[in-house]
Structure 1
Amino acid sequence: MAEKEISLLKEQLARLDEKKFDLDAWKNHTLIFLERIFGKDNSKLKIIRDLHYDYSSWNLRDTAASGKSKDKDPVKMQAREILQATILELETLGLPQGEDDQRKVWLLLQDELTGKQTKEIEALLKSDDKEKAKRISKILENIDKENLAGVLAKLLTN
């Protein structure tokens, strides 16, 4: 299970109750942890990034009129809900499974291969041919060096 990740997020939950709470510092720490756990394109990161205090005069007036106190801080409440949902997700479903490397390579190669080449490689991959690596290599030799370099660059940057 994801004990270490859950522990980190629970620490972030506790930091919401600190007297000298700094939202920007809290967001930065939380974003680092969430990116490591879920990847840089996860929707949770955007939600955390979008947390902010609304200092408009209308909002300040409404807050004063309603008597909201610091324990009803809407930003902290939303942050708490996000982290609690994330912890529940990790406890229930475990860590997210990343796309395996072979699949990534295959998807990138498909952009550079013709339909015929793709079918040939798929057939070889499914076959019991002892020389399938050699035959796949022959097919890949037909890809332009520039395109092959592009595929490698994409792999390294992902």
Structure 2
Amino acid sequence: MAEKEIALLREQLTSLDEPKFDLEAWKNHTLIFLERIFGKDNSKLKLIRDLRYDYSSWNLRDTAASGKTKDKDPVKMQAREILEATIMELEKLGLPGESSEHQKVWELLEDELTGKQVKEIETLLKSETSDKAEKIGEILEKLEKENLAAIIAKLLLN
């Protein structure tokens, strides 16, 4: 799963509450993390880049009239919502591309293994036994060297 990425984003959430909060520095750090996790063209990066304080006279008048205080900072609230949604996405769906990599491995195995062998491995993966790796290894040991070599070659090429 994405434990390291989630931990980084949680640190960014915590830094929103620092007394000497610097929005531009926070945005730069967050953008670096999000770009590494999701890629350069992800919509989350645009949302973070677009965060800014509105110092127009109308906005200042409305803020004074509504009595908003620092703990109701709209920019920090928006930043918090973006990061919380991102963390939830990573917790529920995992890293982008993670499932497609898993799917590719299964497709490669299905090409080289018999249907029975694939079902045995699926059953083992779903089971609660502690010696899954050993039992899967036993199934793979029964394969001919050519099949094992083909599986490894395809994995390396993908």
Q: What SS does structure 1 have at the residue aligned with 2:25?
A: helix
Runs (4 or more) in structure 1 with deviation over 2 Å come to none
- The residue identity in structure 2 corresponding to 1:84 is E
Distance 2:45 2:84 in 1: 14
Tell me by how many angstroms 1:86 deviates: 0.1
1:71-86, aligned counterparts within 5 Å?
Answer: 71-86=71-86
Give the Å deviation of 1:76.
0.2
What's the TM-score once normalised by structure 1's chain length? 0.62
| Deviation by residue 1:73-107 (Cα, 9 ceiling, x = unmatched) | 0000000000000000000000000788xxxxxxx
- Give distance in 2, aligned partners of 1:14 and 1:61: 30
Code of the aligned partner of 1:42:
N
**Shift, 1:24, TM fit:** 0.1
Matched, 1:22 2:46: no
Task: Give per-residue Cα distances to partners, 1:106-129, cap 9 Å, x unaligned.
Answer: xxxxxxxxxxxxxxxxxxxxxxxx
Percent identity among equivalent residues?
84
Taking structure 2 as the reference length, what is the TM-score of the superposition?
Answer: 0.62
Aligned pair 1:56/2:56, yes or no? yes
Offset of residue 5 of structure 1: 0.1
User: What is the deviation of 1:31?
Assistant: 0.1
> How far apart are the structure 1 equivalents of 2:4 and 2:58?
42
SS at 2:71 equivalent: helix
How many residues align structurally?
100
State the shift of 1:65 in Å: 0.7
C-alpha RMSD of the superposition: 1.3
C-alpha separation in 2, matches of 1:50 and 1:66: 24
Equivalent position SS for 1:63: helix
| Contiguous gaps of at least 5 residues in structure 1 | 101-158
Distance 1:40 1:22 in 2: 23
Structure-2 separation of matches of 1:78 and 1:97: 27
Segments of structure 2 that go 5 or more residues without pairing to the other structure are 102-158
1:89 aligns with 2:96: no
Q: Deviations over 1:51-90 (max 9, x none)?
A: 0000000000110111000010000000000000000000
